[in-house]
Amino acid sequence: MSSKQMTYRRLGRSGLKVSVLSFGSWVTFDNQLGDEPAIECMQAARDAGCNFFDNAEAYAGGGSEAQMGRALRALGWERNSYVVSSKFFWGISGNVQNMRNTLNRKYLLQAVDGSLERFGLDFLDLIYCHRPDPHTPLEETVWAMSDIVASGKALYWGTSEWSADEIRGAWEIAERHHLHKPVMEQPQYNLLHRERVEIEYARLYDDIGLGTTIWSPLASGLLTGKYATGVPADSRGALPGYEWMAERLTDGAALAKVEKLRPIAAELDCTMAQLAIAWCAKNPHVSTVITGASRASQVMENFAAHEVIELLTPEVMERIEHAVL
């Protein structure tokens, strides 16, 4: 697949366009991958037309950002040719007061500096509030994020796993004070996890022009079908610290739904993963689908889902809907 074949969508109402399929580093970078495989994965995504690379401060305790930064330097891409992100909330400073599980101004302004240092970049394209913070006034968080954008250290800001009310509240504060508004939300979205994107956020797309950079299109791998007989030893579900994921991946009711998708994928001559990724991208309110991979061949397989999107006719979509009810 050449870069010309990739589809690019506006990020909400902003003028920024992101590839409808993108590449993220959660779980894999600095956990499963060394620098060379990470470089190969990013180049494979780039070759498929990807221009958005997602990351977060908390991924591998900052190690994911550092590894992606080394990869970007090794690859030598022009800075205006890619979009890179980070997310802030959890913190990586041990139990230092005011620097963990917060969105207060002190933490946010220092967190973005730490992120830029690990990446080795002058600015980030997208920054997110990784979770809502009920202990910090929303106005304080909005001012801090807007000030980061105004400083040039980031170009757009948004949220991740915030409720519709919290997103609207932040947008209205920014509107009232003529600040930089939240542009995008990063929610989980897949065939088995749909309510927030399809129902809760429904009015936000038209009301405030919300863009979405969705994560976990494969439901942590469940929708690939490879967990039908248990958790493979080389999968992310078998990694230390991800026992919670293994429990989800062996849920009998969910696995039964996944198996109903198998004949549909076979008829379309695509993999289960490609079907699930393409289904997410079919939603016009999805700006980009963040995919993950631990090897370049897996990246190429995931990005081939771009060719499946147009195969999802209304009839096929109805069959998929019936399978996962």
Active site residues: 59
- CA distance linking residue 153 with residue 217, whole number of Å: 29
| Residue 206 to residues 19, 168, 211, 319, Cα–Cα distance (Å) | 21, 12, 10, 28
- CA distance linking residue 213 with residue 13, whole number of Å: 13
Strand partners, 154: 124
- CA distance linking residue 154 with residue 113, whole number of Å: 10
* 12 φ/ψ sector (left φ>0, alpha ψ -120 to 50, else beta): left
> Which one, of 63, 107, 67, 25, lies nearest residue 293 by Cα?
25
> Which one, of 144, 126, 138, lies nearest residue 166 by Cα?
138
